[in-house]
Chains A and B, each alone.
Chain A
């Protein structure tokens, strides 16, 4: 059972992907919802809005921190910003599950959003997947122990640290399942 943080954002499209790879899901809005989950997705959305709602719920913040010690967490776009150690906006919470520095809206406003193919490399897997970059952040700096999981035009767009994954774009909006499979099913179970 994978929890999907549903304070605000595109939790729907992540649920669609979990269904596609036969994983059960649960919406997470309170700390109680975190019991019995085997992993968590922090979706895209507005990181200021999600931060605001998180800060009103300390037990949920504590619950997510506790979960991160044992269970995988996947963050996309705003989720990546929240998971990073540092971002360029002091109004946004940083859980620091990933030792990276990110910057918000790094490609510009919506007219600069775009579709692309990114290259995902993890162990024996090397695969191009379709994604959308929607007012996307950038990963400016990667520190020790962080692996590069995907690149686009030589820039890092997805990272992995231990069991956690952060990605700056949206494979889930184009029905791509690979990143979710790597995070929640383990790369050895993937048949590609």
Chain B
């Protein structure tokens, strides 16, 4: 795939900056999200907190459900495929979703390889916990990186950890032996050199995994996220529409505490969160894929 077509993929990620991407499980939710000012919706059958609760194998969503949402909203529609499941990705591309999330929230399909994303025309977003993981995904062709956080937990701690990790590892590149780093990260040297020079990933860097309140959104934006994904946080709360509006406002005005305060007024209870210590290691979504 040529450099030019990669720019077309990153171009859409650029358009999504300063916004909120919301998980939705049906058309009604998608419309609520769009009306509240979401820049995009992620169509999936079960939101992460329910996947966690239900157990079993989580796969790509039913194409019919994705199609219904595509046909009825005007904003970009994303959908998830399993890590390494390139056939699911091919189906999503044939369906013309606007972005594919190769997601740790679904059950891993290939424990040794992610999807080779270069041959696809549809851009991919992938999760990362640290710089090495982010660069491996970019090297495979991801046009957008998001923190993994811990999806469906309603707990921001992992997203904060991942965002700060990536930021500090980029700063550390300034006085590092870059060939050693490239070897450690298992990516080409020129990619590491470009990140070291620009002090920025080569694709946009968004936050995901555990965002539940306007304050969480503002926190992630202040830590350097360029947009936030909100999964279970909106439709597991008691006031999805109000909360969706509030988080959109908090992302735009994240630097103004007064505006985030106004956005936080009058909201009902947020989703109930889970402590990381209450999730067994082998049940953490963020441990899937490397």
Chain A residues lying within 8 Å of B123, measured Cβ to Cβ, are: 110
Chain A residues lying within 8 Å of B93, measured Cβ to Cβ, are: 111
A12 touches B11 (CB 8 A): no
Which residues of A (88-129) have their CB < 8 Å from a CB of B?
A: 89, 91, 104-105, 108-111, 113-115
With contacts A8-B252, A110-B123 taken as known, whether A89 is within 8 angstroms of B14 at the C-beta atoms is no
Interface string of B29-60 (1 = CB under 8 A from A): 00000111111100000000000000000000
Bound CA span A56–B252, Å: 12
> In this complex, which of A44, A89, A134 has the most chain B Cβ atoms within 10 angstroms of its Cβ?
A134
Main secondary structure of the interface of A (DSSP, over half): loop
Interface string of A172-183 (1 = CB under 8 A from B): 011000000000
B18 touches A9 (CB 8 A): yes
Bound CA span A174–B18, Å: 20
Which residues of B (172-197) have their CB < 8 Å from a CB of A?
A: none
Determine if B5 is an interface residue (Cβ-Cβ < 8 Å): yes
Residue of B nearest to A108 (CB): B96
Q: Which of A45-53, A146-154, A157-165 contacts B (4 or more CB under 8 A)?
A: A45-53
Which residue in A10, A53, A105, A134 is a CB contact (below 8 Å) of B74? Answer: A105
Determine if A68 is an interface residue (Cβ-Cβ < 8 Å): no
Chain B residues lying within 8 Å of A12, measured Cβ to Cβ, are: 14, 17, 226
A48 touches B34 (CB 8 A): yes
Expressed in whole angstroms, the minimum distance between the Cβ of B38 and any Cβ of chain A is 7
Residue of A nearest to B40 (CB): A46
Residue of A nearest to B75 (CB): A46
Interface string of A13-49 (1 = CB under 8 A from B): 1000000000000000100000000000000111011
Chain A residues lying within 8 Å of B17, measured Cβ to Cβ, are: 8-12, 45
With contacts A10-B14, A109-B98, A113-B11 taken as known, whether A45 is within 8 angstroms of B74 at the C-beta atoms is no
Residue positions of B touching A, CB distance < 8 A: 4-5, 7-9, 11-12, 14-19, 34-40, 70, 74-76, 93, 96-99, 121-123, 226, 248-249, 251-253, 256
* 10 nearest A-B residue pairs (beta carbon): A52-B37, A110-B98, A10-B14, A8-B18, A134-B11, A49-B37, A109-B96, A132-B11, A46-B39, A8-B19
**What are 23 A-B pairs at a CB distance below 8 A?**
A7-B252, A8-B17, A8-B18, A8-B39, A10-B15, A45-B16, A45-B18, A46-B39, A46-B40, A46-B75, A46-B76, A49-B248, A52-B36, A52-B37, A77-B15, A109-B97, A110-B76, A113-B11, A114-B8, A115-B4, A132-B8, A135-B15, A173-B7
